[in-house]
Chains A and B, each alone.
Chain A
Amino acid sequence: MSSESNKPPATDHRPLTTVTIAGLKLKNPVMVASGTFGYGEEYSPYIDLNRLGAIVTKGLSIKPKMGNPTPRIIETPSGMLNAIGLQNVGIDAFVKDKLPFVRQFDVPVIANFFGNTLEEYGEAARKLSDCDGVHALEVNISCPNVKEGGIVFGIDPKAAASVISLVRKSTKLPVIAKLSPNVTDITVMARAVEDAGADAVSLINTLTGMAIDVRTRRPRLANITGGLSGPAIRPVAVRMVWQVANAVKLPIIGIGGIMTADDALEFIIAGATAVQVGTANFVNPTATMEIIDGLEKYLIDNHIADIKELVRSLNIQASH
């Protein structure tokens, strides 16, 4: 018996793929991850930016930053280590030279930013809120590649909370706290930023790692250590999203090694309302488009009318 032909038509309409994160409405849950998509223009020859759920910018700071010495990038099994060092043009140049380009598209722009001090986080949040065309802020408290900023706030719940509450006070835009996986218990961090007023959490940033050239006995990155990304980190990221989903009520943006629609679905089922695609852009610039199409196909094939039904739908009943 052919079960295929006996099924009722999937749905009369296309399934709903829109999701809302902290009041920000996205046409689909697929965003690009900070630092892997430049400022938007770099990949515009390859894909239609209008189709993305949102664009997250490279991490921005008040002053421009030169970044780390090279090599900054090295490949590892099913992944890569990077130690870019948060190189960026600075908020002023971003607003003047980069933002006008992405503003032409019908896609929300999420500004990812960091500060070297607590005060800088507040100042950066204020500056970014003042400019037309930024729709939400993603606070990077988790970059492993710079000594001064980022990670110290990302591994101490009290410090993380103080950053988020200051940012919260400094802006009316939705505040997304980007969490570091380099902690013993990520739910502690998630609760801390929830209590401090974050509207959403995104996770994970890269896992700290290192690689050595055994012939020369030298580190393969000039910075010695770097952040691991790509398919290699996906199981860790899915686990953390699932743990955080059980610990907080905030919407979650799942990140880590997403290459295909199935990978994105793992995160959504584990508890993510939306996802970000990072390293996959380098390998396949059209990955996001294929993921968006793949998600829609999954919904149609499985007779699901609205993608929101899938969020936190993990089935942990014993299988028979």
Chain B
Amino acid sequence: MYQVKSRVIKNEEVAEGYFRLSLECPEVAEKAGPGQFVMLRVGNSYDPLLRRPFSIHRINKWSGIEILYKVIGKGTGMMAHIKAGEGASVIGSLGNGFSFTEELGEALVVGGGIGAAPLLALAEKLTGKGIGEERKVIVFLGGKSKEDILCVEEFKEIGAEVQIATDDGSLGHKGFVTELLERYLGQPQGTAPTRIFSCGPHLMSKRVAEIAKKYNTPCQVSLEAHMACGVGACLGCVIKVKGSGVRGQF
């Protein structure tokens, strides 16, 4: 875990209201794993005062990390204006992250809206980019409308299968992404050890956990909370965890 002054390599709008920020921070990248997050601060203002938490979207081991973010308020609004060459303070990498073992044969990755952000780093690791492992990775992406379906090309490029659902039916299945997951699990299954990974809004995560339980499939959910420190010092971000097989990010 480090606190580093990193340099912005690139900050580009990838879809309306969504940006991808590349940061030069090799120290952080070297230790980072999928599902972990960083606490970010741009500028020195006291308003906003606190750092903002962002999942690690992509890890480039020797150079840095990427963040995929949605502009929703003050902090992300400021981030949208930051330019290549400028500085950003990064604390990371933090949190438990996703974990899986070598034997995992099939990964079902579920993302809702901006929840897709950490799933690319995860899918890159799952598809064993560069190592040539054989593992089936299906990414289920959900969102309000087609604009909220992120990174489809990136997921496909690394060899993952992508299934899409939107609330308004503007892309893929009309309905919830969890319906796609349930439909898939309802089909006759092979014997390969399967695990579900998910990140998205609370209601989606809850539904994913229920489905996982119903189909007796291990599952890891990444959850969000209001945070101040990100390191476990303020006890602001606790999340009540019920049942088994579900693990918070923190």
Contacts and interface: CB of A to CB of B under 8 A. Distances in A.
A71 B122 CA distance: 28
Interface in B116-165: none
B63 interface: no
Interface string A28-43: 0000000111100011
Contacts of A80: 49-50, 228
A23 interface: no
A9 interface: no
B219 to A, nearest CB: 22
Contacts of B235: 35, 38, 58, 67, 72, 84, 87
B231 A73 contact: no
Nearest to A285: B3
A37 B48 CA distance: 21
B2 interface: yes
A285 B50 CA distance: 12
A58 B236 CA distance: 13
Contacts of A46: 1-3, 91
A228 to B, nearest CB: 12
Interface residues of B, number: 27
Contact of B233 (A43, A70, A74, A75): A43
A78 B48 CA distance: 7
B229 A281 contact: yes
Enumerate the 5 nearest inter-chain pairs by beta-carbon distance, A residue then B residue, closest first. Answer: A73-B236, A38-B233, A42-B233, A78-B46, A282-B229
A72 B233 contact: no
A75 B225 contact: no
7 contacts: A42-B233, A70-B226, A70-B236, A72-B226, A82-B234, A84-B235, A282-B51
A231 B232 CA distance: 22
Interface of A: 35-38, 42-43, 45-46, 58, 67, 70-75, 77-80, 82, 84, 87, 230-231, 259, 279, 281-286
A67 B234 CA distance: 12
B41 interface: yes
B238 A231 contact: no
B211 interface: no
A78 B44 CA distance: 12
Interface string B20-64: 000000000000000000000100001111110000000000000
B50 A231 contact: no
B227 interface: yes
B234 A282 contact: yes
A70 B229 contact: no
Given A37-B233, A285-B3, A230 B49 contact: yes
B239 interface: yes
B231 A72 contact: no
Contacts of B237: 70, 72-73
Given A67-B235, A73-B227, 7 more contacts: A36-B233, A70-B238, A72-B226, A84-B234, A84-B236, A282-B229, A282-B234
A77 B74 CA distance: 11
A281 B169 CA distance: 46
A148 B49 CA distance: 31
Interface in B191-250: 225-239
Contact of A285 (B46, B91, B227, B236): B91
A188 to B, nearest CB: 31
Contact of A42 (B3, B226, B231, B236): B231
Contacts of A58: 235
A79 B48 CA distance: 8
Contacts of B3: 46, 284-286
A213 to B, nearest CB: 12
B232 A78 contact: no
B47 A73 contact: no
B2 A45 contact: yes
Nearest to B51: A283
B234 A73 contact: yes
B159 to A, nearest CB: 36
Contacts of B91: 46, 285
A283 B49 contact: yes
Given A231-B46, A283-B41, A286-B3, A82 B233 contact: no
B238 A72 contact: yes
A82 B2 contact: no
A67 B238 contact: yes
Nearest to A278: B234
Nearest to A78: B46
A101 B30 CA distance: 27
Contact of A35 (B41, B50, B231, B234): B234
Contacts of A77: 47
A73 B46 contact: no
Contacts of A74: 226
Given A35-B234, A70-B238, A286-B3, A82 B228 contact: yes
Nearest to B1: A45
Nearest to A88: B235
Contacts of A230: 46, 49
B50 A282 contact: yes
B229 A78 contact: no
